[in-house]
Amino acid sequence: MSATFRELLSATKKEIREVSAEDVKRLLDARTPVKLIDVREGDEYAGGRLPGAVHIPRGYLELRIEEKAARDEELVLYCAGGTRSALAARTLQHMGYTRVASLAGGYNRWSDAHYPVEKPVVLTPAQKERYRRHLILPEVGEEGQAKLLKSKVLLLGAGGLGSPAALYLAAAGVGTLGIVDADVVDLSNLQRQVLHTHERAGQPKVESARATIEALNPDVKVVPFRERLTSDNVLRILEGFDLVIDGGDNFPTRYLLNDACLMQGKPNLHGSIFRFEGQVTTFVPGQGPCYRCLYPAPPPPELAPSCAEAGVLGVLPGIIGLFQANEALKLLLGVGEPLVGRLVTFDALGTRFQELKLRRDPKCPVCAPGARVELIDYEQFCASSA
């Protein structure tokens, strides 16, 4: 016996649980664990969404819901008026989702009540084509790509480590890249610093980097800082960025950056290279050790010469810089396991990786409980320690 759509909808609403806009508002205000699923089409979603809602168009719901929600999560589905979400709720019940409800009256009733809405970042058709390989990854998708486009990463140095990191973060669609470097392009840089070209010799590295990045991806805004990092400017430069990639080549700058990141609570993604060897780790304030825990005092100069003094295999900074970029993407997307409390070393001659555990120093002068960080320029500290 066939049924009309009205009869089907009426029967559906008897089978499912409906919640009012007021109910959902109380849940959100109380920060009750609840996942909002927007089942409208893309053009509707672009006009506004409930705060924090996940977008899964109704036509893709059965295909994508398992990537976005567990069967025992509290789910509230909504559409424009409550019809599509009711039918979707019944479908999820049949799939084994036990705590699913439909928002009565949908987005329209929520909006009419003047409850808060968000304007989501919606990818353009060109962006969807550019980032297609990201969008098909459940761990990224459109929501993750939108996060990347809104993210801001600061790179200390546009040299051997900063070059590959900047290129791949720009290609991935990280929306803002700050680059700190006071140097100019030298021919000896070109063996490893792939941001720059022969024709740009003598140009400021930050301007050369900006030209390369903007040519690669016009979505990316480059903020150049043609200055040396000091205790006077470090907090100003770090302000507004989500995390920092440390591509510095000297201990005073690394110590200063470490202290500033601790003060501002920003992750500091450290990488360093020496001849045929490199290392990388991630320092997240409050979650593990800091740079001073790893190096309480700098080694003597003869044990840590610069690349200009000791040389470096050209591809090595590319490998380490890409590890730093990988760490940045994981932190920005909130996926995977960052290298917090772990140091990865790489031997290019033997093609061997090794992982070492790092522990927080309970007596660290800058990150131990109760420690007070004061910014200083570390040249004198490093000279006296050596």
pLDDT by residue (tens digit) across 244-260? 999 998 889 999 999 99
To which residue do tokens 């927007």 refer? 38
DSSP string, 95-159: TT--SEEEETTHHHHHHHTT---B------HHHHHHTHHHHTSTTTHHHHHHHHHH-EEEEE-SS
pLDDT by residue (tens digit) across 261-284? 999 999 999 999 999 999 999 999
Domain boundaries, the chain: 5-120, 151-385
Residue 382's pLDDT is what? 66
Task: Assess contact for 262 and 366: CB atoms under 8 A.
Answer: yes
Task: Assess contact for 194 and 158: CB atoms under 8 A.
Answer: no
CATH number of 151-385: 3.40.50.720
Q: Cα–Cα distance between 99 and 34 in angstroms, integer?
A: 10
Question: Is the pLDDT score of 226 beyond 70?
Answer: yes
290 carries an active-site annotation: no
Burial (CB count <10 Å: 0-12, 13-18, 19+), residue 101: buried
What are the two backbone dihedrals, phi and then psi, of residue 273, each rounded to the nearest 5 degrees? -140, 150
Task: Assess contact for 256 and 230: CB atoms under 8 A.
Answer: yes
Point out the catalytic residue in the list 261, 290, 307, 367: 307
CATH architecture of 5-120: 3-Layer(aba) Sandwich (3.40)
Using only C-alpha atoms, the chain has a radius of gyration, in whole angstroms, of 25
Lookup: tokens for 142: 């459109």
Question: Is the pLDDT score of 385 beyond 60?
Answer: no
Q: Which of 340 and 381 is assigned the larger pLDDT? A: 340
Confidence of residue 375 (pLDDT cuts 50, 70, 90): confident
pLDDT by residue (tens digit) across 48-87? 999 999 999 999 999 989 988 999 999 999 999 999 999 9
Q: Cα–Cα distance between 114 and 19 in angstroms, integer?
A: 17
